[in-house]
Amino acid sequence: MRIAVIGLGYIGLPTAIMFASSGHDVIGYDIRRDVVEKVNRGIAHIVEPEIGERLREVVSKGKLRATSDYNDLKGADAFIICVQTPLSNGVPDLTYLESAIKTIAKVIEKEALVVIESTVPPGTTERMAKLLEELTGLKEGEDFYVAHAPERVMPGRIFKELVYNSRIIGGVSEKASILAEKLYRSFVKGRIFLTTATTAEMVKLMENTFRDVNIALANEFAFLAHKYGVNVYEAIELANTHPRVKIHRPGIGVGGHCLPKDPYLLLANVDEDLGLIRKARKINESMPRFAAKLLFEALGEANVDPGDAVVLVLGLAYKGDTDDVRNSPALEFIKIIEKDVKEVRTYDPYVNGTHTILEEAVKGVDAIIIATDHSMFREIEWDKLGNLMRNKIIIDGRNLVKEPPKGFIFKGIGRGDV
């Protein structure tokens, strides 16, 4: 089949590669010319295991080509939409999706399938099918077919998860579901469940909302652990020995492009304040402030005037072992403290623009805040690093330091035991 993938980002590019390596002729469309040019040279513009060699292979075999010209999309049997659906001022911004639909309307031919992979508020896929009908004069379910097949992959494991995760596919018409299932079977080895478009939209948002609310609960347990003098991580580990309990991990915050946004997409078309989901968001959004509070308490204990304090943030990425800083709690933490301290330094081996040598970054600092759980931070020898610091304060926002090193003022989110 001839497949057009609209949007060559974190999801679109790997998806285009998977369709191309399973034998389809894939044309990738992106409005960013730099991305198009790189892809056509076989160079990935995102960091993801295996992506380089996989991309080179499909480009060199002529199975994947990128373009910024919508005319190149003519004749596609299927369009896969993988554009971003961000929040702007707390409201879902669907302009990228709408403009993808308008582009498709210019070139779509009869019998084509349109699949929306982007995460969207419930009801959006049906609305987009109507928009396509209005723009083309054609009819969904007769002339063309529209389905929602939400992406569910975890950055860092994308090529495994694209193949082995199960998929939810919701067609606007039944035939749309069946056609989309057939298409995704090209590379999906996991189970495929068929449902309606709006159910599929809700399922995707419920998954990430479940995770967000669970983390908020863990964060509330962390506050309580400070009151009761308990190590919340030990308590959670013990609670999770119960066969029906699975509490997530507390921490300095919830970042990335999904969890901070998806609960708001789920609530987008609802006027009542249902309480729980919004409250969970507020708890998670407050965690960088809680980390800042621990920092200022520690500076007080060390008799350091915050206005003189030099602080090092260890890790900028939103989660461990990635370079992705979208909605990173580390950035929010820096915004909160920077006006009150003398200097904020950053060190993240995956993120450009931060210090490149840890020992240099640490020289003369009063406090280190651990904001990202990069595996390599577990190997840090705190005694050695402590010798380079002016004051020895550690604020652990990711439970990386199990045993507080001797001679340090140590505070950690959820570490009521120290």
Task: Write out the catalytic residue numbers.
Answer: 204, 258
Contact 314, 371 (CB under 8 A): yes
Give min distance, CB of 150 to ligand SAJ, in A: 8
| Residue 1: HSE in the Cβ half-sphere, 13 Å Cα cutoff | 21
- Under rule CB under 6 A, residue 318 binds ligand SAJ: yes
- Under rule CB under 6 A, residue 254 binds ligand SAJ: yes
By beta-carbon proximity to ligand SAJ, the closer residue of 65 and 211 is: 211
- Under rule CB under 6 A, residue 153 binds ligand SAJ: yes
Identify residues 319-358 at the interface with ligand SAJ (CB under 6 A): 319
In whole angstroms, give the CA distance from residue 283 to residue 138: 47
Q: Which of 32, 45, 249, 326 binds ligand SAJ (CB under 6 A)?
A: 249
Q: Which among 248, 254, 316, 241 has a CA at the least distance from the CA of 281?
A: 254
- Under rule CB under 6 A, residue 235 binds ligand SAJ: no
Q: Which of 32, 56, 211, 355 binds ligand SAJ (CB under 6 A)?
A: 211
- Under rule CB under 6 A, residue 414 binds ligand SAJ: no
Alpha-carbon dihedral angle through residues 22, 117, 108, 122, given to the nearest 10 degrees? 150
- Under rule CB under 6 A, residue 215 binds ligand SAJ: yes
- Under rule CB under 6 A, residue 289 binds ligand SAJ: no
Contact 268, 200 (CB under 8 A): no
By beta-carbon proximity to ligand SAJ, the closer residue of 119 and 173 is: 119
Q: Taking the CB of residue 60, how many other CB atoms lie within 10 A of it?
A: 10
Q: Which among 355, 411, 416 has a CA at the least distance from the CA of 388?
A: 355
- Under rule CB under 6 A, residue 397 binds ligand SAJ: no
Question: Of the ranges 29-37, 100-108, 208-216, 374-382, which one interacts with ligand SAJ (CB under 6 A)?
Answer: 208-216
What's the start-to-end Cα distance of the chain, in Å?
61
CA distance readout (Å), 346 to 23, 294, 316, 331, 367: 45, 18, 7, 10, 12
Return residues touching ligand SAJ (CB under 6 A). Answer: 119, 151-155, 207-208, 211, 215, 248-249, 251, 254-256, 258-259, 318-319
